[in-house]
Each structure stands twice: as structure tokens, then as C-alpha cells.
Amino acid sequence: MAISQHSIYEPLTESTAVALAIRLRLFKEGQVLHCEEIGDGNLNLVFHITAQGKQKGIIIKQALPYAKVVGESWPLSLKRATIESNALLFAAEYVPTLVPKVFYTDETLAITVMEDLSHLQIARAGLIEGKTFPLLSEHIGTYLAKTLFYTSDFGLEPSKKKLLVQKFINPDLCKITEDLVFTDPFFDIDTNSFEPELQKDVEEIWADQPLKFEVAKLKQKFLTQADALLHGDLHTGSIFASETETKVIDPEFAFFGPLGFDIGQFIANLLLNAVSRAEQDREPLFTHIENTWDVFTTAFTELWINEGVEVYRNVDGYLEYALQQAFEDAIGFAGCEVIRRTIGLAHVADLDGIDDLERIIQAKQHALRLGKELIRNRKTIDSLENLRSYVSTTETP
Ligand code: SR1
Ligand code: MG
């Protein structure tokens, strides 16, 4: 993988992206190239370049100096492109089959050139269509166990970890999460976005002081608890999948945070898909949630026993304590994510895409009730069975 430096930043266009690919010799001489900007996320440009007659091309992802979803009034550091490529390269050391290959990065242009995954589908889109992606939870459980263990003080010598913590300081992107996940949805703030039919439900949240106290505690963990290198935005739109493959993309929010955060975001986005469905169609989502946690704990436990570096690792109860804390936090973070994806700035197609307004409102009210219960009861939700029963008891008021 080459790393290069251009002298000035400029946003690419479809034609300058092709020129760059040619200059970098990413295609054979003489090939006719086609390029399309396909970025449908909130922040970046994504160029898909293919050679005529070939299925697989390359992706050039470029950070813009502002949040695309809002515009130039919301400046954002370009350093996130470097964070993203470093996080992908780092993850490739532990889970090479679960992340895209990085071919090239340029810090000044804020680009990462990577493997074309267009033979796969974004997991959120597939789940909305009713696909089950049978290996999704096994792969994500493994991804979580390895990336979290090997970057935590349980699996990495603490002085090495501290150097990595420095490398992944990511204030702009952390601020997005601090605001959009942990703050704005719980206050009457302009960035929130919800249907007028939800006004009463939302005002109840804004007035709920005990709930806000619990969210404040979860936010404090996110702000201060540098347990392990997180993906930082592990929703189902950050995962490409098929029947046989899973690839985790977009780790531009990576930073050292609490062990339960990525797990909670992934679970939350499966729950958001579950509440968008009729009760009898939810089983595949519950199975994925259960299996993610099982695979995660089994793999994390094996790593702890066989590769742990913490001197206290054999003390009775310590592993169970660490896993229990991660689970409790994950449930709380999941509650915050469910609420913010329902009434905050950045929504999900699982709910917004339901084809009937009455059903949208019902599903969103369900999501809000569920999110609140997860935050409030995270200390007593001690099994996946328990979690499943909250989905059902919050179906109606
Ligand atoms: C302004 S960015 C909004 C959201 O998009 C990203 O994917 C993150 O989830 C962020 O919170
Ligand atoms: Mg993203």
C-alpha cells in the first residue's frame, strides 16, 4: 500500500478521480474507465471506477472539509480520512477477511483508495428487503471480539496502547456522536427532526429527568472510557454483506472508547429493523443479536485466556465482570442509538422507508419506548431473552 502527499487539497470530480486512478497506475494502460460518484452517506464523496468489460474496479473515498448532509456551515477535519485508512489497515491485521483492502491513501487529498465491494449489498438495504445474511452475526461477533480485544489493555501492552490512543484522537467525529447520539435528541435542539405526530412522545423524553440522568452517565463513559479502538459508527449501513461474506467499512469515527459502544450500535440497528417489521417476522433479527453476543463472548474469552497480557486475567470473576459491564453498556448505548435514529438528525431507512405514515408513526413510537426501556433497565437486562421481551412489551403503550 502506497502513501503519498499531494500539495493541495481539492475535491475530486468524476473526471479528476479517473485522472488520479490513471496517474496512480491503478488500471492497465489503455483501459477505458467509467466513473460514478455513488456516495449516499452523510459526509463524503465516494467514486466507483471500473474498466470497460471488468466487473470489479476500485473505490476512491474522499473526505470533504464539511459535513455533506448539512453543508459548508458544518466544517469537519479532513484528518478523518487518515483515521479511516489507519483503522482499516489496523483491523486488517486482526480480521483481514472482514474489511476492504486499502490500496493507497493520500493525507492531503484526504482520500483512501480501496477494494470495490459492489458485488455485496449494504446490510441495512438487504435487511429492509427481508434478506437474512446468515453469516452476518458470526462475522460481526468475530470482528468485535478481535478488534476490541487486541486494542484493549487486556490484549495489548499498555504503553503500546497509549501510543495508539494518540494516533486515533478524533475530536470532530467524536463531537458528532456526543451531540447527535447523546445530547441533541434529549433536548429541544434544532438538529432534531421528527414528524409532528411524535411531538408529544418527544416532549416526554425532553422532560424525563431520570432518563436524562442515565443518558448523561452513558455519555460520560463515551467521553472518558478509552477501553479499546472502536469502529465508532457500526450501524448496518457501515457493513457490506452477502450470503457468504461480510465487510465492515467506514471507520472514520474510530477512536478509543468504551468496549460496549460498537456492540450497542450494531444491536440497536438490528432492533430498528426489527421494530419496522411485523412481530412474526422479527426472529432473524433476534437470532442475529443473540448470535453476535455469543460469538463475541466466546471469541473474547478464548483471546483473554490464550493471549491476555493483563496480570489480573486469571483472577476469578474478572473476565465475567468485564463482559457483564460491556453488555450493560451496550444495552444503554443501543437505547441512545435507537432514540437518535428516530428523532435526531440522521435517520434510518428501516423506519423512514415504511410505506404508510400511520405505520411509520407506530414503529417510531415503539422505537422510542424501546430505547427508553433499554437505557433505564440496562443493569437488569441480563439475557437476550430479556431484551426480546422488552421489544414485545414496548410494542404498545
Ligand atoms: C453529520 S453525520 C450524521 C451521522 O452519519 C454518520 O454515519 C454517523 O452515524 C453520524 O452520526
Ligand atoms: Mg459512515
How is the chain split into domains, by residue range? 2-115, 121-393
Q: Distance from CA of residue 169 to its chain's centroid?
A: 17
Q: Say if CB 99 and CB 151 are below 8 A apart.
A: no
Query: CA 169, CA 7: separation in Å to the nearest integer?
Result: 24
Query: CA 116, CA 169: separation in Å to the nearest integer?
Result: 28
Q: Say if CB 120 and CB 240 are below 8 A apart.
A: yes
Please count the CA atoms within 13 angstroms of the CA of 122 that sit on its side-chain side. 18
pLDDT in single tens digits along all 397 residues of the chain: 555 556 799 999 999 999 999 999 999 988 999 999 998 888 899 999 999 988 899 999 999 999 888 889 989 999 999 999 999 999 999 999 999 999 999 999 999 999 999 999 999 999 999 999 999 999 999 999 999 999 999 999 999 999 999 999 999 999 999 999 999 999 999 999 999 999 999 999 999 999 999 999 999 999 999 999 999 999 999 999 999 999 999 999 999 999 999 999 999 999 999 999 999 999 999 999 999 999 999 999 999 999 999 999 999 999 999 999 999 999 999 999 999 999 999 999 999 999 999 999 999 999 999 999 999 999 999 899 999 999 999 999 9
Q: Which atom of ligand 1 is nearest to the CA of 180?
A: 11
Q: Which atom of ligand 1 is nearest to the CA of 235?
A: 9
Q: 346: CA distance to ligand 2 center in Å?
A: 11
Query: CA 364, CA 340: separation in Å to the nearest integer?
Result: 11
Query: What are the start-end ranges of the H helices in the chain?
Result: 14-23, 79-94, 123-128, 136-150, 158-167, 171-180, 199-207, 209-224, 260-275, 283-307, 318-343, 349-352, 357-376, 384-393
Closest CA to 20 of 30, 10, 12: 12
Please count the CA atoms within 13 angstroms of the CA of 258 that sit on its side-chain side. 27
Q: 233: CA distance to ligand 1 center in Å?
A: 8
Out of 84, 233, 235, 341, mutate this one to test ligand 1's pocket (max ligand atoms within 8 Å of CB): namely 233
Angle at 5 between CA 4 and CA 9, to 5 degrees: 130
Q: 40: CA distance to ligand 2 center in Å?
A: 9
Q: Distance from CA of residue 59 to its chain's centroid?
A: 19
Query: CA 278, CA 338: separation in Å to the nearest integer?
Result: 18
pTM: 0.96
Q: Say if CB 295 and CB 362 are below 8 A apart.
A: no
Q: Can you tell me the ipTM of this complex?
A: 0.98
Write down the architecture of domain 2-115 according to CATH: 2-Layer Sandwich (3.30)
Query: CA 3, CA 268: separation in Å to the nearest integer?
Result: 36
Residue whose CA is at the smallest distance from ligand 1 atom 6 = 42
- The correct CATH number of 121-393 out of 3.90.1200.10, 3.40.50.1100, 1.10.1520.10, 3.40.50.970 is 3.90.1200.10
Collect contacts of 197-204 with beta carbons under 8 A, ≥24 apart.
197/357, 197/361, 198/342, 198/343, 198/361, 198/364, 198/365, 198/368, 201/364, 201/365, 201/368, 202/343, 202/368
Q: Which ligand is nearest to the CA of 75?
A: 1
Q: 238: CA distance to ligand 2 center in Å?
A: 6
- Residue 6 has a pLDDT of 67
- Residue 7 has a pLDDT of 77
Query: Ligand 1 site: residues with CB under 6 angstroms?
Result: 41-43, 67, 69, 176-177, 180, 233, 346
Query: CA 186, CA 276: separation in Å to the nearest integer?
Result: 22
